[in-house]
């Protein structure tokens, strides 16, 4: 191989790495959706042929919309399973902007849209800040098994809560604050394989579509990056509801 070919190959290789690992991938992937899936998927998932790897997905927007689980028994969701609009939220309990969204914007969305049946919110645990984040995510899932996820979510995102950390005693305190009735079951569930499996499922979904920062959202498949103002969400909900009515 010539030195120019080697440099060209090296350049192509290094150009792929930011797509996989740099902080900018979140903005790129959230903006482009699954159009960039082939570039951001793990290497073993890609086709060996360059022409196959370059082929676009059939319908990226439809694939993003299909991520809405719409399971009536989903413990990490609020709103009707058949609501015309679904907001999927990828979040971390140690993320300050996630907390701001949870305190300032989400309650307004629940009050205005979830309660009257337009909107469903499905949470995805997406811890990116280490062991404390993962522990809090598993604890939230465990609280959900006793139908106290939303209360735990509110307690964990309360102003000043993340500064106290998420060691096990603190998580049990939050569960008690959230009204989890059986704290021994909570501790067992939190440490169990089902909690770990649920967390992996959410993480794998997020990473597959290019999410690397929190909060990140999909609203009927439309990406929204970051804790945007309330008006951004209300406008997107109105647009999505109108589009759903035409289908």
**pLDDT, tens digit, 9 for 90 and up, residues 72-107:** 999 999 999 999 999 999 999 999 999 999 999 999
The β-bridge relationship of strands 119-125 and 85-91 is: parallel
In this structure, the number of other CB atoms found within 10 A of the CB of residue 225 comes to: 16
Percent of the chain exceeding pLDDT 90 equals: 74
Q: Each residue of 51-62: pLDDT tens digit?
A: 334 445 567 889
For residues 107 and 142, is the Cβ–Cβ distance under 8 A?
no
Instruction: Give the pLDDT confidence score for residue 60 in this predicted structure.
Output: 86
Question: Per residue in 28-61, is it b (16+ CB within 10 Å) or e — as a string?
Answer: bbbebbbebbbbbbeeeeeeeeeeeeeeeeeebe
What does the alpha-carbon distance between residue 143 and residue 150 come to, in Å, rounded to a whole number? 9
Instruction: Give the pLDDT confidence score for residue 109 in this predicted structure.
Output: 98
Beta partners for 91?
A: 125
Mean pLDDT of 142-163: 97
What is the chain's alpha carbon radius of gyration, rounded to the nearest angstrom?
20
Instruction: Give the pLDDT confidence score for residue 58 in this predicted structure.
Output: 66
Instruction: Give the pLDDT confidence score for residue 71 in this predicted structure.
Output: 97
Flag whether pLDDT at 19 surpasses 90: no
């Amino acid at each position: 191989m010539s030195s120019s070919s080697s440099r060209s190959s090296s350049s192509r290789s290094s150009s792929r790495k930011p797509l996989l690992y740099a902080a900018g991938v979140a903005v790129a992937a959230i903006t482009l959706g699954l159009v960039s899936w082939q570039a951001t998927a793990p290497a073993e998932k890609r086709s060996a042929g360059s022409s196959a790897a370059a082929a676009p997905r059939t319908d990226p927007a439809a694939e993003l919309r299909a991520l809405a689980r719409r399971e009536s028994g989903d413990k990490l969701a609020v709103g009707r399973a058949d609501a015309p609009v679904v907001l999927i939220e990828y979040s971390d309990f140690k993320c300050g902007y996630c907390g701001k969204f949870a305190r300032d914007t989400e309650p307004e969305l629940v009050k205005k849209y979830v309660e009257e049946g337009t909107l469903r919110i499905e949470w995805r645990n997406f811890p990116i800040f280490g062991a404390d984040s993962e522990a809090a995510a598993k604890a939230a899932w465990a609280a959900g098994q006793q139908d106290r996820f939303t209360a735990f979510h509110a307690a964990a995102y309360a102003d000043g809560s993340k500064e106290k950390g998420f060691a096990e005693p603190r998580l049990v305190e939050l569960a008690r604050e959230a009204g989890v009735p059986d704290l021994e079951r909570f501790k067992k569930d939190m440490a169990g394989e089902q909690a770990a499996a649920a967390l992996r499922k959410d993480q794998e979904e997020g990473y597959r579509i290019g999410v690397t920062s929190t909060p990140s959202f999909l609203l009927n498949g439309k990406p929204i990056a970051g804790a945007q103002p309330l008006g951004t969400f209300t406008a997107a909900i109105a647009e999505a509801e109108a589009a759903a009515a035409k289908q």
